[in-house]
Amino acid sequence: MSISVVRAQLALACLLACLASPSRAEWSFTPRAALYFDNSVQRQTGIDFNNDPNRLKYIADQQTLIASINALTPVFAQLGVFLPPTTISVDPATTARRTTQAKYPQIGGTLSFDWRGSESTQVAITALYGKTDSELSEVTTQYFRYNSFGSSAIDTVQLSTQAKGELDRLDLELTVQHRLNETFSLVGGVRAERVNIDTDFTSTSFASANFYNLVAFSGTVILQSRNLPVPASFLPTFTLNPPAITGNLKQTTWVYSARVGAAAYAPVGEKHLFYVNGLLHVSHTPEVNSIQRFSNGFTVSVPSFASETTIGPDISVGYMYRFSDRFGVDLRYRAAVYFPVAGDFDFEDARVNHGVSLGFTTWFGE
């Protein structure tokens, strides 16, 4: 979505809000610039290659080879060689990622107005939009341990992905604030966050062939010691290294939140105001599909993120300076933590969003 479209949406929101509120009610508009940080790309839970086609083919080939070796056990026994069954065990996959949290410069604004003319209840509509570049380096490694021909071997399977592209982010928020007195308010609202991803990627995979070579060497020794021919399947294999896979990935993620809490204010004189908001949010991310277009022309839509439900704090602190009854400037810092309670991510593997924003407010009406 372009910045011009966001501005058009803000103008429409202003118009609708003005039409919905009484003409004598006070309302304000705040153009706002923000710098927003999101660590979603740094989360670790579930980052493996359990469904990677190269890994699945590797395991299938290994299982076929193991079955073939075990089927030959009676044949080797007739040759006077008694072998224990060939076995395999697999270590958990481990992933290392090198990336920075996404940093979005954002622009937008906030429209605020009294609800039905009541000075104690105020509604605020906020929209912010920004773009950023992103780079990701990810390496996933898994170890396969074999016992065969009375010896052991360890093979490494590794998947490496390099990605570079663009992210764009749209934040929409509706907040209702009810003042109990000059220093305390109850706050509630809803929020929607949308992130588009458009990135080019290159994936390479590598597998060592220690088990293949163990089988080839041991089988060759046994057959040659009995002057028997060595089949081609026993020739050594040193590595398994398929060609790199390149392509483009597009993905859209939405996060919907409901928030409730309170705000406290500390006025200093007539021009200075310090404030803090403490909210608790419940958020939900629906399942996400990605469109992957590979360099060979093949296009596929695949699930890339399971649905997730999170809870956590949403805290803001800020300072406002009022030049007059009509104009003011404010600087605020906001941080929200999203602890997963349902979905594939661990509770400790939270998403953290935070940032600073600067706004210039003009008040209208009485």
Q: Mean pLDDT, to the nearest integer, of 208-222? A: 81
The better pLDDT of the pair 344, 120 is held by 120
The tokens describing 199, both together, are 């990135």
Instruction: Give the list of residues 6+ apart from residue 115 with CB closer than 8 angstroms, or none.
Output: 21, 121, 122, 123, 176
What pLDDT shows up at residue 231? 65
Compute the distance between CA of residue 38 and CA of residue 301 in angstroms, rounded to an integer. 25
| Mean pLDDT along residues 355-365 | 91
CA contacts within 13 A on the Cβ side of 327? 2
Q: Compute the average pLDDT of residues 253-274.
A: 93
Q: Name the residue with higher pLDDT: 314 or 46.
A: 314
Closest CA to 255 of 277, 281, 278, 280: 281
- The model's confidence at residue 338, banded by pLDDT at 50, 70 and 90, is very high
Confidence band of 66 (pLDDT split at 50, 70, 90): confident
Higher pLDDT pick, 29 / 213: 29
Q: Rounded distance, CA 237 to CA 210, Å? A: 8
Total number of domains constituting the chain: 1
CA distance 40 to 312: 15
Give 44's pLDDT tier (boundaries 50, 70, 90): low
264-315: pLDDT as tens digits: 999 998 899 999 999 999 999 998 888 888 888 788 887 777 888 999 999 9
Model confidence over 114-170: pLDDT tens digits?
Answer: 887 777 899 999 999 999 998 888 888 889 899 888 888 898 888 888 899 999 999
The overall average pLDDT reported for the chain is 83
What residues make up the domain containing 270?
3-364
Q: What is the pLDDT of residue 7?
A: 46
